[in-house]
Amino acid sequence: MGTGFNKEQMMAKNVSDVSAASESVALLPVRGQLPEEQLIYDRLVDAIIDKTLRPGEYLNEVKLAKSYGVPRSRVRRVLERLRDEAVIEFQLNRGAFIRRPTVDEARDVFEARRHLESIIVRLACARATKANIAQLYTHLETQRRVFDNRLPEMNRIAGEFHMLLAEMAGNEVLTRMLTLLMRRVCLIQSLYEKQNGVLCLVHEHEKLIALIDANDADGAAAVALAHCQHIEQSLDLSERRRAEVDIYGTVLLPGDRP
């Protein structure tokens, strides 16, 4: 997922505590030839997808700039880019925070996703090659391994599957739209997910592959719609849920933030 789910984006892991989250992401080893701003951007996106950065968490510009050895103005440009993508927000006299989507916004995002994925799977039915289908089945085995072992990258791997479908649809505009939408889905899941286990819909992915392979556009669209609905239904999209101080057990007070 460039999309936020590609294989080069696997480095933002294990934030030790909430107050040090952005610093921990920044201190990961730098590899590759990406420009500094893109590198910071990719790692923040990865941390959000992997849920090591959660909605409402503070992003310390000073620490990020120091850790990457760049001027604070460069970090600010990265954060402004994420703000424009509805991933973070700037709060007056407080700084940058991971956005906490409202209930109405969450419902709008899922409505958009249902329509977008329906178009994507229809195009995939018409354009996917046998090599593409084989790639999807290979990815399906990765999904099973990751979910069976409850590995930390579950969210990333599930998202990768949908991005593969978008790429097979062969429309760069739709791929870009889904990339941005999936990041917002990650925020929504992170904020509103229920605490009764991890949702695993690998079997629905498998059914979707079979329908695409059979060029059954109507069937694939119906499964994609049901799949999105199942994900939305797994969430507690309520004002009560959003209003909780910290749904993961740590009380965060304004004075706790730099």
Strand partners, 90: 96
Question: Which pLDDT score is estimated for 124?
Answer: 97
Residue 239 buriedness (CB in 10 A; 0-12 / 13-18 / 19+): exposed
Structural domain contains residue 10: no
In a shared domain, residues 46 and 131: no
Residue 103 pLDDT more than 90?
yes
Name which of 139, 156, 120, 140 is nearest 5 in CA terms.
156
Both 115 and 217 in a single domain? yes
Assess whether 41 and 70 both reside in one domain.
yes
Of 65, 81, 98, the last residue of a domain is: 98
Both 51 and 83 in a single domain? yes
Beta strands 88-91 and 95-98, pairing class:
antiparallel
If asked whether residues 112 and 228 sit together in one domain, one would say: yes
Give domain status of residue 248, yes or no: no
What's the pTM? Answer: 0.77
Domain membership flag for residue 201: yes
Q: Which domain holds residue 85?
A: 35-98
CATH number assigned to the domain comprising residue 109: 1.20.120.530
Same domain, 200 and 91: no
In a domain, 22, yes or no: no
d(C-alpha 179, C-alpha 76), whole Å: 22
pLDDT tops 60 at residue 253: no
Give every CB contact of residue 65 below 8 A, 6+ residues apart in sequence: 71, 72, 74, 75
Are residues 158 and 130 both part of a single domain?
yes
User: Which strands, in side-by-side order, build the sheet including 88-91?
Assistant: 58-59, 95-98, 88-91
Q: Residue 32: left (phi > 0), alpha (psi -120 to 50), or beta?
A: left
Q: How many domains does the chain have?
A: 2
Burial class (CB in 10 A: 0-12, 13-18, 19+), 240: exposed
Q: pLDDT tens digits, residue range 116-145?
A: 999 999 999 999 999 999 999 999 999 999
CA distance 170 to 128: 9
Tell me, yes or no, whether 168 and 119 share the same domain. yes
d(CA 27, CA 29): 6
